[in-house]
Amino acid sequence: MSALTRQFERRPKAFSAAASVLLVAVIGLIDYLAGYAIFFSAFYLLPVALASWYVGKAFGAVISISSVAVSLVGDYAAGAAYPNVLVPIWNGLISLTIYFVVVKILTSLRKLHGELEARVRQRTTALTSEMLERARLEKEILEVSEREQRRIGHDLHDGICQHWAATAIAGQVLGEKLAAKSLPEAADAREVVRLVENGITLTRNLAHGIAPPEMEADGLMLALEEFAATSSALFKVSCRFDCDSPVLIHDLAAAGHLYRIAQEAVGNAIKHGKARNILIRLDASEENTELCIKDDGSGLPDPLPKERGMGLRIMAHRAAMIGGQFTARRDEPGGTLVTCTLSAHPNSEKSDHE
């Protein structure tokens, strides 16, 4: 029935009008052949309803009058005999009244249906625009965040590191002067220089973590390996990067988002999970590329609360921006397992989704 309705919806009004007239003729013929003793008025409701819904109120009224006329003529032709002329007139008026009521109800419903469809279309358009605007704003916020992180990283590298280097040179000069005078404080000066050099290394590693260098196809592997080493040195944990075979990602935006997901997952593991051992693993196959971050911390609550933390939402949003699948769950042995799977054929998946 719904398929038939859709077929009529796609046809022009002339088709529905012709179908209504044809139905009146067919039902009238069957009414005549069946004889006047069999009541057929209810069957005329089909062309009346068809004309009212798909053509309009005026044509529905025309079909109603035609149906009554065809029914009366068919009964007379079949040999119907009435005591007086008022009986068929009364019967026709009753049928016509019922048909007019049906026409009124259907046309009103049709009008309400059209208004509802228009509202749904308007609301759908508004929601689509709102979603697109929200996605644009979220993307812009992430881009602003990326730029700000890169600026801070560059400031650390070009400003703080240079200041540390100048301090180390000044300390070295002071140590040489103290050593020339054979003063015991020369050893303290050398220790100060050593601590400053360690500060330079830590600051440079921190700058690289905040603003990794521009990635080539193999840049994600190098960046994750350096990030793991930096995290181990900065936070005094065991953070290891594992990649069995080379994983080349030519989409620089996707590589950047994967790096940030790993960065956020490691940060959460250290700050919230109190993890001591973290494994970052990058794998690739013909179907997809998978980034996994596993730790031995306290793990996520099971089940996850409806209102997830900001870190999880940011990672999920980054994965969605590159067409990836993101999961974060409590690992069976303990700790947390964060996974981001990126399809090797994102374009085909996108077209299927659309």
Please report which confidence band the pLDDT of residue 349 belongs to, taking 50, 70 and 90 as the band edges: very low
Q: Which one of 77-81, 137-141, 226-230, 281-285 scores highest in mean pLDDT? A: 281-285
> What are the sequence ranges of the domains in the chain?
2-129, 217-354
**Residue 254 or residue 156, greater confidence:** 254
Could you read off the pLDDT of 104-156 as tens digits, one per residue? 999 999 999 889 999 999 999 999 998 888 878 877 877 777 777 777 877 77
Please report which confidence band the pLDDT of residue 215 belongs to, taking 50, 70 and 90 as the band edges: low
* Rounded Cα–Cα distance for residues 168 and 195 (Å): 9
Could you read off the pLDDT of 303-324 as tens digits, one per residue? 666 666 778 888 998 898 888 9
Please give the radius of gyration of the chain, using alpha carbons only, rounded to the nearest integer: 40
**Residue 45 or residue 163, greater confidence:** 45
Residue whose token pair is 């979220």: 138
Structure tokens that stand for 125 in this block: 């358009």
Q: DSSP letters of 138-162?
A: HHHHHHHHHHHHHHHHHHIIIIIHH
Residue 99, CA distances (Å) to 39, 59, 66 in order: 15, 12, 11
pLDDT at 308: 64
Could you read off the pLDDT of 24-37 as tens digits, one per residue? 999 999 988 888 88
Q: Is the pTM of this model over 0.85?
A: no
Contacts 24+ apart (CB under 8 A), 135-140: 138/317, 139/321
Q: DSSP letters of 227-244?
A: HHHHHHHHHTSEEEEE-S
* Rounded Cα–Cα distance for residues 41 and 60 (Å): 15
Q: Which amino acid is at 277?
A: N
Helices (H), 35-160: 45-54, 57-77, 86-155
Say if CB 293 and CB 278 are below 8 A apart.
Answer: yes
Q: Which amino acid is at 348?
A: S
Q: Which CATH architecture has domain 217-354?
A: 2-Layer Sandwich (3.30)
